[in-house]
């Protein structure tokens, strides 16, 4: 592992706290050293309290923040001398400890200090870094871990047998340090590494040095022994079960919505599929079925991956039978996993305080499927990806530990204590409240500009994962970039999507499944307009209008409805209609007739799908000019039909409404948001007008 320390950058830090942030970010930016949200670092400083009295303070990472993006405010200062008061105690419950530490905070509103705060206090060293590096865990999680650690680190690092983080662990480390003040750090069995020193550079340097030594040892061991042979598939070198890549893709498209349905029993989840070479090597290995069930590489990984993944057992089958068989096996084994989790919870729940005996979501967060890869779930795609990344580190630890010796982990009981540890679960409670459309996936067609773009923006703002479908790729990419930047999220996705082409529609929906696992709503918006009196209307223009305004809605809705029914989690379709459906205008025959077909399509969809919990509604806007490609093309000819100059068209529309007001894309977006939201949960087959009030177009 390379040191990222840059003397010039370090020299720019004006005090110890800035140096702490600097090195914390270095540690956080190396995933083999520290996974998302993991690890903690500290420094000891002298500062003034609220009365201006000088006091010693320990600044330590707060619970729930991530080292990579940490800032000074993520390191709450705690009165060191008060923390040291409890060293003489023999025991202290977690609740007592948290309560005690909260009283030692120098800034009462600071985040809760890491649960390892006492450990950092009890070691009288200015700078301390605690990490869960893959290479270190590869050693601590083997049967002979202690022996190997001695071989690599001699007595530079002290070995501490496994004990759950908290007061007891802190005390043991503190005592070990007092007996061996020359030690450079400790190795925590089945947990991680702690390195310390008189300054930031030393503690960071030692962390890197110790991890590098472990890596070197592992590299040498790996050369001697090859593991993870893909023998699950081979019998005398012949693959017994293997799918072509097209079959793998099709299996995922078929299975992901069913998996999403299963995993969403308590709350909807978003799915992420990982198929990196490392993941495939592991899931395809004969040993994976056993090794993956041994337990977590470190308690630090468990908050997101849970104790064990689901390893899907596949019966040996010839390629052409494998896919449907596997699909059923995955779904039934997810249920078996949840049942097992219930038994595990019942077995150990007595270890929890009586007010905290609530079972967590029993469904797996990580699913390993031989021949396919790994599927992870989360409240959004970002979280599903973080879980995948963390489990990839677990895989690396299992692989290295198996190279050295036999991979070992916490006992089931020890794992339960961490799995359900309120102090660790507290981190999850720090997540901000979920937005209205969090955990939802949707498609907005015709989203590159105008109304479609405004709708997509609004729904992403409210937490949804939104695929923006359009055929104008440049404008589409610009819209996606804009929305992601403005919402500081990566929940907008560009999707080349031609509503008139069944193949493009099918492929688009498949991409959504592969990327997020399913779908929850469709906003069918793509449309075009043509102006001409009917006696002068070309057949070609009539057909073009119908291809987009009628068939386009049909193709998109058909594909999405099929998926929604298969996924069986309900859903929403919203059709962007027009005032013309109820009150057509002259020279607008092709547009009005084709949009009327759309409206009739929406009504029939509402009738057919109510029993599946799928709601279908329409929004009828009128005269929405802003950022509109439609008005750019037809504006002048509409003005001509009304016998007014082009530049007066906007005012004309505004004045013909009852409220004499301009209708904006955002107004339509708000209406769509209402129709997708829980607030309209009993509404289907409805038309919501967004036209400033046009009495001829009142729905009746
Ligand atoms: Zn730790």
CB 374 within 8 A of CB 391: yes
Distance CA 524, CA 435 (A): 23
Q: What's the pLDDT band for 276 if we cut at 50, 70, 90? A: very high
116 CA to centre of ligand 1 in angstroms: 7
Instruction: State the pLDDT at residue 252.
Output: 93
Give the Å distance between the CA of 131 and the centre of ligand 1: 7
pLDDT of residue 322: 62
> What secondary structure does DSSP assign to 99-168, as a single string?
HHHHHHBSSTTSPPBPTTHHHHHHS--SEEEEE--HHHHHHHTBTTHHHHHHHHHTTTEEEE----TTHH
At 392-402, the pLDDT tens digits run 999 999 999 99
Q: What is the mean pLDDT of residues 130-157?
A: 94
Q: How far is the CA of 211 from the centre of ligand 1 (A)?
A: 15
The model's confidence at residue 238, banded by pLDDT at 50, 70 and 90, is very low
- How many angstroms does the Cα of residue 192 sit away from the middle of ligand 1? 6
**Higher pLDDT residue, 642 or 524?**
524
Contact 499, 526 (CB under 8 A): yes
Check residues 243 and 380 and name the one with the higher pLDDT. Answer: 380
* CA 568 vs CA 268, 431, 563: distances in Å: 12, 28, 8
Report the phi/psi class of residue 180: left, alpha or beta, with left for phi > 0 and alpha for psi in -120 to 50: beta
Q: What is the pLDDT of residue 319?
A: 53
Cα(483) to centroid(ligand 1), Å: 37
pLDDT of residue 233 exceeding 80, the answer is no
pLDDT value at residue 239: 44
The answer on pLDDT for 316 being more than 90 is no
pTM surpassing 0.85? yes
Distance 598 CA to ligand 1 centre (A): 58
Catalytic residue among 177, 337, 344, 591: 591
Tell me the CA–centroid distance for residue 191 and ligand 1, in Å.
6
Calculate the alpha carbon distances from 208 to 138, 161, 194 in Å: 16, 22, 11
d(CA 65, CA 190): 23
DSSP symbol at 435: P
Residue 606 CA to ligand 1 center (angstroms) comes to 53
- CA 641, CA 643: separation in Å to the nearest integer? 5
| Mean per-residue pLDDT, 468-492 | 97
Tokens encoding 488: 């500081």
Span 245-272, pLDDT tens digits:
888 899 899 999 999 999 999 999 999 9
Q: So what's the pLDDT on residue 630?
A: 76
pLDDT band at 504 (very low <50, low <70, confident <90, very high): very high
- Render pLDDT for 79-103 as a digit per residue (tens, 0 to 9): 999 999 999 999 999 989 999 999 9
State yes or no: pLDDT of 499 exceeds 50.
Answer: yes
What average pLDDT does this structure show over 550-569?
98
Element (H, E) at 459: helix 450-461
Neighbours of ion ligand 1 (CB under 5 A): 192
Q: How high is the pLDDT of residue 691?
A: 95
Please report, rounded to a whole number, the percentage of residues in the chain having pLDDT higher than 90: 78
Query: Distance from the CA of 367 to the center of ligand 1, in angstroms?
Result: 25
Cα 126 to Cα 80: distance, rounded to the nearest angstrom: 11
Give 123 Cα–ligand 1 centroid separation in angstroms. Answer: 15
Q: How far apart are CA 185 and CA 5, in angstroms?
A: 20
Domains assigned to the chain: 7-224 (3.40.225.10), 234-429 (3.40.225), 441-627+662-688 (3.40.50.720)
Q: How far is the CA of 348 from the centre of ligand 1 (A)?
A: 23
- Locate 437 and state its tokens: 């459309």
Can you give the pLDDT at residue 634? 82
What average pLDDT does this structure show over 58-75?
Answer: 93
- CA 110 to ligand 1 centroid distance, Å: 21
Residue 449 has pLDDT above 60, yes or no: yes
Percent pLDDT > 70 in the chain is: 96
The tokens describing 45, both together, are 């400083």
CA of 225 to the centre of ligand 1 (A): 30
To which H or E segment does residue 330 belong? helix 319-348
Structural contact between residues 604 and 597, judged by C-beta atoms closer than 8 angstroms: no
The Å distance, Cα 31 to ligand 1 centre, comes to 15
Q: In angstroms, what is the span from residue 410 Cα to ligand 1's centroid?
A: 14
Q: Is the pLDDT of residue 320 over 70?
A: no
Ligand 1 centroid, distance to 551 Cα (angstroms): 57
Q: Active site includes 591?
A: yes
Q: Are 25 and 69 in contact (CB under 8 A)?
A: yes
Spacing, Cα 369 to ligand 1 middle (Å): 29
- How far CA 26 is from CA of 21, 46, 75, in Å, comes to 9, 24, 16
């Amino acid at each position: 592992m390379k040191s990222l320390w840059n003397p010039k950058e370090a020299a720019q830090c004006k005090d110890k706290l800035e140096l702490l942030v600097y090195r914390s970010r270095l540690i956080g930016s190396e995933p083999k050293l520290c996974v998302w949200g993991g690890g903690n670092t500290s420094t000891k400083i002298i500062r003034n309290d609220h009365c201006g009295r000088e006091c010693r303070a320990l600044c330590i990472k707060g619970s729930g923040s991530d080292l990579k993006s940490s800032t000074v405010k993520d390191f709450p200062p705690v009165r060191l001398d008060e923390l040291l008061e409890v060293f003489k105690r023999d025991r202290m419950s977690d609740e007592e400890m948290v309560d005690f530490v909260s009283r030692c905070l120098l800034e009462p509103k600071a985040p809760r200090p890491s649960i390892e705060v006492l450990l950092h206090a009890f070691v009288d060293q200015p700078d301390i870094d605690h990490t869960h590096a893959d290479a270190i865990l590869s050693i601590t999680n083997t049967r002979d871990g202690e022996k190997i650690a001695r071989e690599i680190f001699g007595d530079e690092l002290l070995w501490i047998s496994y004990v759950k983080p908290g007061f007891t662990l802190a005390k043991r480390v503190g005592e070990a340090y007092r007996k061996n003040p020359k030690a450079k750090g400790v190795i925590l069995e089945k947990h991680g590494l702690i390195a310390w020193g008189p300054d930031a550079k030393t503690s960071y340097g030692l962390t890197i040095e110790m991890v590098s030594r472990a890596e070197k040892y592992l590299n040498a061991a790996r050369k001697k022994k090859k593991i993870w042979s893909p023998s699950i598939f081979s019998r005398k070198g012949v693959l017994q079960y293997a799918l072509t890549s097209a079959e793998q893709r099709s299996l995922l498209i078929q299975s992901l919505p069913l998996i999403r349905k299963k995993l969403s029993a308590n709350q909807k989840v978003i799915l992420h599929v990982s198929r990196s070479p490392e993941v495939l090597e592991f899931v395809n290995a004969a040993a994976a079925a056993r090794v993956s069930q041994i337990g977590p590489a470190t308690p630090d990984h468990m908050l997101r991956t849970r104790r064990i993944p689901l390893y899907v057992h596949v019966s040996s089958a010839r390629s052409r039978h494998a896919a449907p068989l596997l699909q059923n096996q995955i779904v039934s084994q997810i249920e078996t996993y949840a049942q097992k989790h219930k038994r595990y919870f019942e077995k150990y729940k007595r270890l929890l305080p009586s007010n905290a005996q609530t079972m967590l979501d029993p469904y797996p967060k990580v699913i390993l499927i031989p021949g396919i890869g790994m599927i992870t779930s989360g409240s959004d795609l970002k979280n599903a990806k973080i879980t995948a990344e963390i489990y990839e580190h677990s895989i690396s630890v299992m692989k290295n530990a198996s190279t050295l010796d036999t991979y070992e982990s916490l006992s089931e009981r020890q794992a339960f204590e961490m799995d359900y540890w309120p102090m660790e679960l507290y981190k999850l409670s720090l997540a901000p409240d979920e937005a209205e459309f969090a955990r939802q996936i949707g498609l907005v067609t015709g989203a590159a500009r105008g109304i479609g773009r405004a709708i997509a923006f609004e729904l992403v703002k409210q937490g949804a994962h939104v695929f923006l479908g359009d055929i104008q790729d440049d404008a589409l990419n610009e819209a996606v970039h804009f929305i992601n930047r403005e919402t500081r999220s990566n929940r907008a996705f560009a999707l080349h999507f031609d509503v008139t082409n069944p193949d493009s529609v099918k492929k688009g929906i498949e991409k959504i499944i592969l990327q997020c696992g399913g779908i929850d709503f469709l906003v069918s918006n793509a449309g075009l307009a043509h102006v001409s009196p009917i006696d002068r209307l070309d057949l070609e223009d009539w057909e073009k209008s119908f291809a987009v305004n009628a068939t386009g809605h049909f193709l998109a809705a058909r594909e999405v409805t099929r998926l929604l029914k298969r996924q069986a989690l309900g859903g929403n379709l919203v059709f962007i209609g027009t005032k013309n459906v109820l009150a057509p205008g002259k020279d607008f025959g092709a547009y009005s007739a084709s949009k009327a077909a759309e409206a009739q399509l929406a009504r029939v969809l509402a009738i057919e799908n109510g029993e599946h919990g799928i709601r279908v509604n329409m929004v009828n806007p009128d005269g929405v000019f802003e950022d509109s490609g439609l008005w750019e093309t037809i504006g002048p000819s509409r003005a001509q039909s009304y016998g007014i100059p082009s530049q007066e068209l906007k005012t004309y529309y505004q004045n013909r409404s009852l409220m004499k007001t301009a209708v904006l894309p955002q107004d339509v977006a708000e209406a769509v948001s209402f129709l997708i939201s829980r607030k309209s949960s009993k509404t289907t087959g409805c038309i919501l007008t967004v036209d400033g009030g046009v009495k001829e177009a009142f729905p009746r």
